[in-house]
Structure 1
Amino acid sequence: MNLLFVCSMNKWRSPTAEKVFRRVEAVSARSAGTSRKARRPITIQDIRWADIICVMESKHLSRLRGDFRGELLHKEVHVLDIPDDYQFMDPELVELLLNSVQPIIDP
């Protein structure tokens, strides 16, 4: 299963999610940002690669729809509702991610 995590700048939330879920067996994870100034800006190849896309906030989904509407038509996308209040690998962020994403990958 290919999981793509998306936030704005690809600095804290999505890289944390990538690191956490890379440890999960049978899961490949990567992260990207919606901003053109992101550490790793999202590409069409990222969208095509992903089986499931997890965005941190609704604004990220809106940005993806604006930039990749056709590519998202048959993609499973989830809004995690995780605000930009955490640093990389913050234990509270890790717990939020696990609680939000585990039910998506283990229904």
Structure 2
Amino acid sequence: MTNILFICSRNQWRSPTAETVWRKHPGLSVRSAGTSPRARRTVSASDIQWADVVFVMEHKHKSRLLADFARLLSHKRLHVLDIPDEYQYMDAELVQIFEESVAAYLGLD
């Protein structure tokens, strides 16, 4: 089982969409969280420890995670998806982006 963590700012639209898209994929366990203190679910050290792979939506999320959890991230796969905060939850275009980009990073069909 590979543990995947998706991160955006407020855990409102992008990372929950990614979690929904990938949650039922065999062999993956998936969570989502946000970097903001006002996030629906704020990322924690235990989330980072749990994850094998971390996907962030923007470079600012990577910077925030590295500032807060550098030691925990030192041996993790961390990928920036470059997805701007322009989408609503389960937007068809956003779903397609997640299906294609995450599959490519993970080497899945």
Q: Say yes or no: does 1:67 pair with 2:68.
A: yes
Report matched runs for 1:14-93 at 5 Å.
Answer: 14-93=15-94
SS at the partner of 2:32? strand
| d(CA) in 1 for partners of 2:98, 2:83 | 8
SS at the partner of 1:71? helix
Report matched runs for 1:5-16 at 5 Å.
Answer: 5-16=6-17
Query: In the alignment, which residue of structure 1 is the partner of 2:100?
Result: 99
Q: Give the unaligned 5+ runs of structure 2.
A: none
State the 1:28 CA deviation: 0.6
Q: Give the unaligned 5+ runs of structure 1.
A: none
For 2:37, the aligned partner's letter is R
SS at the partner of 2:40? coil
State the 1:106 CA deviation: 1.8
Percent sequence identity over aligned pairs: 55
Q: Any idea what the Cα deviations from partners look like across 1:24-74, whole Å, max 9, x if unmatched?
A: 111110000000110000000000000000000000000001100111100
State the 1:104 CA deviation: 1.5
State the 1:6 CA deviation: 0.1
For 1:75, the aligned partner's letter is K
For 1:19, the aligned partner's letter is T
TM-score (norm: length of structure 2): 0.96
| d(CA) in 2 for partners of 1:20, 1:49 | 20
For 2:103, the aligned partner's letter is Q
Q: Aligned pair count?
A: 107
TM-score (norm: length of structure 1): 0.98
